[in-house]
Amino acid sequence: MSPYSELCIPSDGPVAEAAQMLERNAQKICLVLDDDKLVGTVTDGDIRRGLLRGVTINAAVQEVMNANPRTAFEDTDRDALRALMTRLQILHVPIIDSDHRLTGLISLEDLVRNNATFNNPVVLMAGGLGERLRPLTDKTPKPLLKIGDKPLLQSILESFIEQRFENFYIAVNYQAASIKRHFGDGTAWGVNIRYLEEEQRLGTAGALTLLPEAPTLPMIVMNGDLVTRTSFKDLLDFHAEQKSCATMCVREYDFQVPFGVVSTEDQRIVSIDEKPLHRFFVNAGIYVLDPDIIASIPHGERSDMTQVFERVIADGNETAAFPIHEYWLDIGRIDDLERAKSDVIAGRNK
């Protein structure tokens, strides 16, 4: 039986608190209780689907929760429960009594004890010039600029390793030798690292055509200039759950017009919206691609990831947007780098 006391939240608690609980706890589930009675559950996927529907991070958790979760009683046969959870791909089942009061939590890991690593390959894009970070990148490639006590790309690699990924490709071009010298074949980290060497700059997707063999599993592709605490397991789960062949991580971006926006019909003013706030989802630079999508990328020419998604959409294939609510920062400019360093010191990137 898994501990659950730190996983409980009332139905009027904020979504932001549930998101923080999911990040802190290995169980990856929140139990929504009112008067000790189970009224719902919240998973990472529930929150991200809510964000895509327009639910804000400060809304009540009842806006995103699953109000009809699968439950079991104390005397439920554990073998039957394991078979059910495996068949339905359910990771957790709350245990309740006859009055619907929560008495425990069982995870599939409790029943199976499977801590296997992920075989999905990961490609880290590290070939950029880092022009906006000059003069810092005149002699040091952007992925090797330090944030805290280690290079940016090393922090990314170790984040994946912490989440049990072990097969990596690093796409290199500018100052490739420095990057290869630092990471080697991955032995120092206990993982396998190979390199995709671009003789010419191939864009944010073209380097995937240099893979030595075709992948057989969905592949994670990530820009090598990001700092994030995103759960890559949750990303893969979401990709599979949505039956997507190409998934893009997105971030919410707010833009407030600093003036009153006037709507007109011919010469008549019909409304005035004072300093409206517009919200958008923007590309966060992390993707999951199925093998057949990677195989469709044109060889020998520049190709950006947005073009890949445009082709997938035009062909009528399934895509998905995975909203990131965790810490995320794109190191594009010097002030972004300084902010990342400050966040490390303050612990805001944990």
Mean per-residue pLDDT, 137-154: 79
Q: Residue 40 above 60 pLDDT?
A: yes
Contact, 219 vs 245, CB < 8 A? no
pLDDT over 90, % of the chain: 25
Query: Who wins on pLDDT, 178 or 132?
Result: 178
Mean per-residue pLDDT, 230-253: 91
Confidence of residue 1 (pLDDT cuts 50, 70, 90): very low
Residues whose CB is less than 8 angstroms from the CB of residue 130 and which lie 6 or more positions away in sequence, other chains included: 136, 137, 141, 142, 145, 174, 225
Query: Who wins on pLDDT, 336 or 349?
Result: 336
For residue 231, CA distances in Å to 44, 69, 73, 157, 308 come to 9, 23, 31, 13, 23
Q: How far apart are CA 87 and CA 136, in angstroms?
A: 53
Contact, 190 vs 94, CB < 8 A? no
Q: Residue 3 above 70 pLDDT?
A: no
Mean per-residue pLDDT, 101-118: 72
Q: What is the pLDDT of residue 139?
A: 75
**Which of 44-48, 95-99, 120-124, 329-333 has the lowest average pLDDT?**
329-333
* Amino acid, single-letter form, for residue 80: A
Mean pLDDT of the chain: 84
Contact, 249 vs 288, CB < 8 A? no
Q: Residue 188 above 70 pLDDT?
A: yes
Q: Residue 262 above 90 pLDDT?
A: no
Residues whose CB is less than 8 angstroms from the CB of residue 219 and which lie 6 or more positions away in sequence, other chains included: 120, 121, 122, 123, 208, 288, 289, 291, 294
Count CB atoms within 10 A of the CB of residue 12: 10
Q: Do the bridges between strand 246-256 and strand 122-125 make them parallel or antiparallel, or are there none, so unpaired?
A: unpaired
State pLDDT tens for residues 289-331.
999 999 999 887 888 899 999 999 999 999 999 998 888 887 7
Q: Can you give the C-alpha Rg of the chain in angstroms?
A: 23
**Which of 5-19, 126-140, 202-216 has the lowest average pLDDT?**
126-140
Q: Residue 286 above 90 pLDDT?
A: yes
Q: What is the pLDDT of residue 325?
A: 84
* Cis upstream peptide for 151 (omega within 30°): no
Q: What is the DSSP letter of 279?
A: E
Predicted TM-score (pTM) of the model is 0.68
Mean per-residue pLDDT, 31-59: 89
Query: Who wins on pLDDT, 282 or 131?
Result: 282
Q: Do the bridges between strand 167-172 and strand 192-197 make them parallel or antiparallel, or are there none, so unpaired?
A: parallel
Q: Residue 104 above 70 pLDDT?
A: yes
Q: What is the pLDDT of residue 169?
A: 95
Mean per-residue pLDDT, 194-203: 85
